[in-house]
Amino acid sequence: MTAVAPVATTPGGSTQKKGGAAGRPSVAAWLVAVPFLAFVGIFLVYPTVLVLFGAFQGSDGGFTLDNLSTLFTGVVFDAFVRSIELSALSAVIGAVFGALLTWAIAVGNPEGMLRRIVVAGSGVLAQFGGVPLAFAFLATIGFEGLVTKFLRDNVGIDLFAGSAWLFELPGLTLVYTFFQIPLMVIVFLPALDGLRPQWREANASLGGTSWTYWRHVGGPILTPPFLGALLLLFANAFSAYATAAAIVSQGSPIVPLQIRGFLTGEVVLGQENLGKALGLGMVIVVSIAMGVNVLLQKRVAKWVR
C-alpha cells in the first residue's frame, strides 16, 4: 500500500494546471481509479520496489553496496556475460532470418492463408513457446531425438560426440532462435508493410535496379525499425526463463537460472539479497536496451519530419 500513495498524489498536483475541458474532477471521480491503482500498487509496484530496494540491503536490513559489487565477481559475473552473449547472438540470428521470412510473406497476398499461418504460428512460438519448446527440442535433437537417431543410425554422425552441447550455450542459442525468429516476424512485419509499392515503381521508372531500390530506398527506411527490433529481441532473450529452465535442470549458466538457484536452493548466509541484486542487474540491462530503442525511434521521428 505504501507504494500507492506517491502514485496518487503526483497527478493530483497537475489538476490545477489542466482543469479546462473536463472541469476539475471531484473526489468521487478519483475514487473510480482506486481499485486499479491499488491492485497494480500491491501486485506490481510493491514487488518491483521490493527487488530494487532489496538489492541495496544487507542481511541486517541496512544499506550496502556489497550485493551489487558481487555482480562483478565470479560465477555471477560469468553468468551475466554468458546471458548477454546468448541474447546478442540469438538476437542477431533471429533478426536476420526473421527479416528474410518477414520479407517472404510481406511480398505475398496480404489476406492469404500462408501469411495467416506464419503470423499465427509466430505468435505462438514468440509468446507462448516456453516449456513446450524445450520438449520440442528434446524430441528433435535430444539424446533420443528424431534427428539424433536418424544421423546416428543412417549417416553415422553422433551429435553428442563432442559434448552435451544441447544443454549448454550453443544448444540454448539454437533453441532460442525458435522464438526469436518468430518474434522478429511479428515486430518487423508492420515496417515492411509500410513500404509503398509506388516507391518501387518510381525506382523502376527512373531506371533503377533492385539493388538501387534496396540501397537507396528500402534499406534506409527499414534500418531504424530493424535495429529497434534487434534491441527488442535482445531484451526478450535476456528475460526468457521457461525454455532454459526446462532444458537445463542442473547448473546455472545464465542469469535467470542463477535467480532460480537463489529462490529454490539453500541461501548462503549473508547473501539473502543477492538474488534481488541479480534482478536489479537484469532490469538495468533490459532498460538500457529499451532506452536505446526509444532514443533511436525519436531520432528517426525527427528525420522523417
Partner 1 sequence: MGSLVKQRVLRTIILLVLGVYFILPLIAMAEFSTRGKNNTRSLESWTSIVDDEGLMEALVNSLLLSVTSAVLMLVLLVPTMAWIRLRLPQLQRLVEFLCLLPLAIPAIVLVVGMAPLYAWVNYFLGDSPLTLTFAYTILVLPFAYRAVDAGLSAIDLKTLSEAARSLGASWFTVLWKVVVPNIRVALIGASLLSVALVLGEFTIASLLNFDTLQVQVNLLGKRNAGVSIAVSLLCLLFAFVLLFALSYVGQRRRQTVVEE
Residues of span 40-99 touching partner 1 by CB under 8 A: 40, 42-51, 54, 97
Q: Contact with partner 1 (CB under 8 A): which of 66, 68, 145, 160?
A: 145
Q: Give the 3-state secondary structure of residue 64.
A: coil
Tell me which H or E stretch contains 199.
Answer: helix 197-205
CA distance 180 to 173: 10
Q: Which stretch binds partner 1 (CB under 8 A): 56-64, 159-167, 237-245, 292-300?
A: 237-245
Q: Which stretch binds partner 1 (CB under 8 A): 72-80, 144-152, 158-166, 216-224?
A: 144-152
Minimum distance, C-beta of residue 135 to partner 1, in the bound complex (Å)? 4
Residues 6+ apart with CB under 8 A from 76: 70, 258, 274, 278
Site for partner 1 in 148-187 (CB under 8 A): 178, 181
Q: Contact with partner 1 (CB under 8 A): which of 1, 2, 74, 120?
A: 120
Work out whether 9 is an interface residue with partner 1 (CB under 8 A).
no
Query: Mapped to the 3 state alphabet, what secondary structure does 213-264 carry?
Result: HHHHHHHHHHHHHHHHHHHHHHHHHHHCCHHHHHHCCCCCCCHHHHHHHHHH
CA distance 283 to 238: 10
Name the nearest CA neighbour of 141 among 166, 161, 176, 168. 166
Work out whether 296 is an interface residue with partner 1 (CB under 8 A).
no
CA distance 13 to 18: 10
Are the C-beta atoms of residues 243 and 25 closer than 8 Å to each other? no
Q: Contact with partner 1 (CB under 8 A): which of 1, 2, 9, 14?
A: 14
Q: Contact with partner 1 (CB under 8 A): which of 64, 66, 103, 151?
A: 103
**How far separated are the first and last CA of the chain, in Å rounded?**
44
Q: Contact with partner 1 (CB under 8 A): which of 69, 127, 163, 297?
A: 127
Work out whether 245 is an interface residue with partner 1 (CB under 8 A).
yes
Q: Contact with partner 1 (CB under 8 A): which of 151, 159, 217, 290?
A: 290
Work out whether 125 is an interface residue with partner 1 (CB under 8 A).
yes
Location of C-alpha cell 536489479: 280
Name the nearest CA neighbour of 71 among 274, 273, 261. 274
Q: Which stretch binds partner 1 (CB under 8 A): 58-66, 73-81, 161-169, 235-243?
A: 235-243
Are the C-beta atoms of residues 280 and 292 closer than 8 Å to each other? no
Cβ count near 267 (within 10 Å): 14
Work out whether 215 is an interface residue with partner 1 (CB under 8 A).
no
Work out whether 27 is an interface residue with partner 1 (CB under 8 A).
no
Q: Among residues 103 and 165, whose Cβ is nearest to partner 1?
A: 103
Minimum distance, C-beta of residue 264 to partner 1, in the bound complex (Å)? 7
Q: Which stretch binds partner 1 (CB under 8 A): 66-74, 138-146, 156-164, 165-173?
A: 138-146
Minimum distance, C-beta of residue 127 to partner 1, in the bound complex (Å)? 7
